[in-house]
């Protein structure tokens, strides 16, 4: 990895406690943590650069005159990988066969297939697009949905029409007022039997109690990588709920992620100091 240019001075702050003194123009919160409410106290702040694709509500605390950027694309491939792996694992009954292996039982079972199965990806950004390519390569019939209607892409208002025809739903949307609690009892009830829900977005997109109720019926299955409470508390009902595969928010936690993130960050800092347009601007001045 190339280091930052020598003329750029850096200060390390973990995002907790009192902010550092002096003029801080370009702030990079630690991945997954940080104190958004403290950013107005940073003197001279011009840019907040997140190292995640999701905003994690940072956009609510962007001071006036400050640009907020995310790291869309940095984790796209690895996050899409987990979504596809979850779908295939559940379709091909890998949790069932793992249980049979532990019990030393030779127990064959007919599994599902992705071939010609209708898949709805809610979120048409970098992650959703990567997942679409992989799923279609394996024969999936993929429909995309996003906030803005465009050719080949539906919007949230179309969900009542779409959900009854979908056998897999993958959530990779940001947390916004329109997506909070999107997957509720009515959403889940609209899905056909033997459907799969994959959440690699944010836990708040799903009403957890409603999902647990559906999982307990055996009508649907799910892969969850994100949760309302993280780490998921001991004793939480999801630990013992059937028909769900849980991963502890690890979609982007893959080998090489630090190198990819730092390479993007270095390019972004160089853009800033040389007066070039920043990439992935999501709020504030452009």
Sign of CA dihedral 202, 248, 72, 117: negative
- In order of 5, 33, 45, 156, 217, the CA distances from 148 in angstroms are 39, 30, 31, 9, 34
Assigned token pair, 122: 């809610």
Q: How far is CA 33 from CA 13, 119, 130, 195, in A?
A: 11, 32, 26, 34
For residue 46, give every residue at least 6 positions away whose Cβ sits within 8 Å of its Cβ, in sequence order, or none: 25, 26, 65, 66, 67, 272
Cα–Cα dist 33/60, whole Å: 15
Q: Rounded to the nearest 5°, which phi and psi values hold at 8?
A: -95, 115
Query: Partners of 281 in the beta sheet?
Result: 69
Question: What is the separation, in whole angstroms, between the first and last Cα of the chain?
Answer: 28
Tokens of 40: 């107005």
Contact 147, 96 (CB under 8 A): no
Give the Å distances, CA to CA, from 237 to 55, 118, 165: 28, 30, 29
- Residues that are catalytic: 202, 249
Residue showing tokens 């030779």: 106
Rounded to whole angstroms, the Cα distance separating 107 from 101 reads 9
């Amino acid at each position: 990895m190339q280091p930052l240019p020598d003329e750029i001075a850096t200060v390390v702050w973990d995002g907790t406690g009192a902010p550092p003194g002096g003029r801080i123009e370009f702030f990079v919160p630690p991945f997954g943590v940080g104190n958004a409410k403290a950013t107005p106290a940073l003197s001279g702040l011009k840019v907040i650069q997140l190292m995640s694709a999701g905003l994690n509500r940072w956009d609510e605390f962007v001071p006036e005159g400050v640009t907020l950027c995310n790291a869309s694309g940095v984790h796209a491939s690895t996050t899409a990988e987990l979504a596809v792996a979850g779908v295939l694992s559940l379709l091909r009954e890998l949790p069932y066969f793992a249980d049979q292996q532990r019990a030393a039982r030779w127990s064959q079972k007919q599994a599902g297939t992705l071939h010609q199965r209708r898949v709805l990806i809610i979120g048409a950004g970098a992650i959703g697009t990567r997942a679409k390519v992989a799923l279609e390569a394996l024969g999936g019939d993929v429909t995309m949905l996003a906030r803005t209607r465009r050719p080949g892409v539906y919007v949230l208002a179309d969900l009542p029409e779409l959900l009854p025809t979908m056998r897999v739903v993958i959530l990779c949307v940001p947390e916004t007022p329109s997506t909070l609690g999107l997957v509720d009892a009515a959403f889940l009830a609209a899905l056909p039997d033997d459907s799969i829900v994959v959440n690699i977005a944010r836990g708040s997109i799903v009403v957890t109690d409603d999902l647990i109720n559906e999982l307990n019926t055996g009508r649907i299955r799910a892969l969850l990588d994100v949760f309302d409470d993280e780490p998921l508390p001991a004793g939480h009902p999801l630990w013992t709920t059937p028909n769900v595969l849980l991963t502890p928010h690890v979609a982007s936690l893959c080998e090489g992620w630090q190198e990819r993130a730092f390479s993007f960050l270095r390019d972004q800092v160089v853009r800033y100091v040389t007066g070039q347009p920043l990439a992935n601007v999501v709020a504030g001045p452009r």
